Amino acid sequence: MNAMENAIAVVTGAGSGIGRAVAVELLRAGWSVVLAGRRAEALEETAALVPGGAALAVRTDVSRPEVVTALFAATVERFGRVDMLFNNAGTFGPGGVPVEELPYEAWRHVVDTNLTGAFLCAQAAYRQMKEQEPQGGRIINNGSVSAHTPRPHSVAYTATKHALTGLTKSLSLDGRPYRIAVGQIDIGNAATDMTAGMRTGALQANGEVAPEPVMDVADVARTVRHMAELPLEANVQFATVLATTMPYVGRG
């Protein structure tokens, strides 16, 4: 039997892509999973992928403090505690826009979703994990290889992902007295709807457009599950999972 069976996870951005894949992986492993996202229909579709799974769909805008508070209140009301948060909700923002042309509203939308949303969810999870019995839990932030190396014309996305690394480190340090383990997974070219264009052609640093390899998103989900199922005495602080031959390491 899985040691984490009946554990409670909150997965943001669970209506598609990496969030959906992770939620399905956890549900199949016996976790109870709260599916958070903007689109209620998409969340229900995720839940339906694991018939009989212990899923709760909660429509959520992670950039709004009162909505995040309601998300965690609904989680505790239904399941009694929070064992793991996968902080996954995010947006690229407008693609291919040079920095001098990026609208302020677009910058704020990316920051509010990727950074402020991650903070608000981590803060709510932290409060619950600190007070519950037994105390503690785990937070896993979805960083991205853009937390290390940018793509052209991605200033808002890259800035937020770099900031997430600082958020992860600070939360990890502050969580030590309360058995709250915090780590980050940096993902490169997982095959999702958001990355579909990379297979046909993505802008490279030298100005060329070239197709890039992708990996199965299920491989990402298994990595998140491994991180989530470690005992709280152990932590994967940072993990990088990427398509083996994507242009990232070295000069391409």
Beta-bridged to residue 37, according to DSSP, are 59
Q: Report, as residue numbers or ranges, the catalytic residues.
A: 157
Q: What is the DSSP letter of 150?
A: P
Q: How far apart are CA 85 and CA 147, in angstroms?
A: 20
CA-based nearest residue to 140, from 110, 109, 164: 164
Would you state the structure tokens that stand for residue 91, as one six-digit string?
Answer: 């947006």
Beta-bridged to residue 203, according to DSSP, are 209
Instruction: Please answer whether residues 137 and 90 qualify as being in contact, where contact means their C-beta atoms are separated by less than 8 angstroms.
Output: no
DSSP characters over 185-244: EEEE-B-SGGGGGGGT-EE-TTS-EE----B-HHHHHHHHHHHHTS-TT----EEEEE-T
Dmax (CA) for the chain in angstroms is 55
